[in-house]
Amino acid sequence: MNHTEQDLVTEDSPRDHYKALVKRSPFYEKQVALSNTNKWHRWKAYTVADEIECMEQEYFAVRNSCGVFDVTPMSKYRIGGPDAEAFMNRLVTRDVRKIKPGRVGYTVWCNDQGKVIDDGTIFHLEQGVYLLCAQERQYDWLMLSALGFDVEISEETNNIACLAVQGPTSCATLKAMGLAGIEGMKPFGLTHFDFGGAKLMVSRTGFTGDLGYELWIDFDSAEALWDALFEAGKDRGIRAIGGDALELARIEAGFILGGVDFVPANQCVRLHHDRSPFELDLGWLVDFSKESFTGRTALLREKQEGSRYRLVKLNIEGNKPAHNAYVMNGKGGKTIGAVSSAAWSPVAKANVALASLDLTKRINDNNIWVEIFYQKELKWHRKWARAEIVKDPFWNPERKRVTPPADV
């Protein structure tokens, strides 16, 4: 494993030691200069903004113009070597051979019991060389899984800066920045540009369910990238956004989040609190045509015998978000599940949620209710609301699929 200078603690004082353990993205100072809320949280060792100026304006920038989120703390691992493809195919549930060079694929990986350790994206950089990105740190699991394979794995988290550029004017902004031909990139494509002598990787990916891109560059060139991006987008409504706006966008898109909608299997301490891909509505990522992958036997058994849980999208009556609500069989009936993510969707004009249902219980899809508790002026209120299971994401605009995107 390669360590950067930022990782090494050589100072003697406790305060200096603490400072060395708290990392800052190369975009941190740019965000501090814009911040008027001082709302931050810790994503692993990094300091990340919850809100920069105004959460509502940041959210609408994603949906109406261009929002920019700092994704630098995401875990990043470069994987190469003679057995790289075989290793990746053994690690994850989908067939990596179908992710061609210059493409990106969403995936999950499991333990031997078929429970999800994490989800993430595989960037096929060139033949036999991959970049695996995930929310959680995965170096130990990757090294354990690599036993018997001739592969080289290096952690690039502290070397590669990343910005998610999302929204209807994102493509036009990147064109104005000088990224010629960016409009021809298809969803889940990736390409490279020269940016002042540095290699800039651009992928048409994101976590908002909208038209969007992610920009990947080395730390030394990161501030120059930020300046060029915001100069190009100044007439296209560009705005730096925090995690709160991103959270609302990902719930509307129906995207799951580790630690919120599922407990990573290697962090779970209670029996049956983990989840399989089938229980997270990700069965489409499990390819049994592969000869072997970690968790295959357990997942094949589950497919034959049935799952314990079912992840569903709920459209709930009213406008009170069902945060942490129980899901019931009928009003006042027996508990059949729980809401993991909830929000009022401004664009869908709907009260939306993701929930996990217990399939060992008798469930009537046409008579589902949620029990909502909310606080108003220091007083708690209880509300019953009928819920409808829906198949499609609450926000799924055609523009995220169109190539080339509209020049707006």
| Residue 302 placed within a domain | no
Among 155, 173, 205, where does a domain finish? 155
Task: Report which residue type is found at 111.
Answer: N
pLDDT digits (tens, 9 = 90+) for 97-119: 999 999 999 999 999 999 999 99
Residues 39, 162 within the same domain: yes
The dihedral region occupied by 261, where left means phi > 0, alpha psi between -120 and 50, and beta the remainder, is alpha
CA distances 396 to 218, 243, 252, 399, 400, Å, are 32, 20, 8, 9, 8
Query: Which of helix, strand or coil describes residue 349?
Result: coil
Q: Three-class SS of residue 200? A: strand
At residue 332, the 3 state secondary structure works out as coil
Residue 119 in domain: yes
Same domain, 165 and 70: yes
At 260-291, the pLDDT tens digits run: 999 999 999 888 899 999 999 999 999 999 98
**CA dihedral in degrees (259, 265, 268, 269; nearest 10)?**
180
Residues 94 and 56 in one domain: no
Looking at the fold, whether 164 and 70 belong to one and the same domain comes out as yes
**Is the pLDDT confidence value at 11 over 50?**
no
**104 and 33 together in one domain:** no
Comparing C-alpha atoms, which of 360, 365, 373 is closest to residue 389? 365
Rounded to 5 degrees, what are φ and ψ at 383? -140, 135
Q: Are residues 23 and 64 in the same domain?
A: yes
167 and 235, same structural domain?
Answer: yes
Strands, DSSP E only, in 111-251?
A: 116-126, 129-134, 152-155, 160-166, 190-195, 198-203, 212-218, 238-240
Is residue 283 included in any domain, yes or no?
no
Cis peptide before 264 (omega within 30 of 0): no
Looking at the DSSP bridge assignments, the partners of residue 154 are: 78
- 64 burial via Cβ count (<10 Å: 0-12, 13-18, 19+): middle
Q: Would you say residue 402 has pLDDT above 80? A: yes
Which residues constitute the domain of residue 115?
A: 75-155
Q: What is the pTM of this model?
A: 0.92
CATH classification of the domain holding 353: 2.40.30.110
CATH number at residue 171: 3.30.1360.120
49 with 19, same domain?
A: yes
Q: Which value, in Å, is the radius of gyration of the alpha carbons in the chain?
A: 22
Domain count, the chain: 3
Is residue 294 domain-resident? no
pLDDT digits (tens, 9 = 90+) for 147-178: 999 999 999 999 999 999 999 999 999 999 99
Of 11-20, 192-201, 230-239, the poorest mean pLDDT is in 11-20
Same domain membership, residue 12 and residue 31:
yes
The verdict on 151 and 163 lying in the same domain is no
- 303 occurs within a structural domain: no
Strand partners, 390: 313
Handedness of CA 299, 304, 309, 311 (dihedral sign): positive
Let me know if residue 37 belongs to a domain.
Answer: yes
Which of 260, 252, 262, 266 minimizes the C-alpha distance to 282?
A: 262
pLDDT for position 19 = 58
- CB 47, CB 57: distance < 8 Å: no
CATH number for the domain that contains residue 138: 3.30.70.1400
Per-residue pLDDT tens digits for 225-238:
999 999 999 999 99
For residue 281, give every residue at least 6 positions away whose Cβ sits within 8 Å of its Cβ, in sequence order, or none.
310, 311, 312
Q: Are residues 186 and 121 in the same domain?
A: no
Q: Tell whether 129 is covered by a domain.
A: yes
**Are both 247 and 329 inside the same structural domain?**
no
Residue with tokens 């399939």: 359
Domain contains 282: no
pLDDT in tens, 355-395: 999 999 999 999 999 999 999 999 999 999 999 999 999 99
Give CA–CA dist 354/316, Å, rounded: 11
Tokens matching residue 60: 């609408």
Q: 124, 155, 186: which is the final residue of a domain?
A: 155
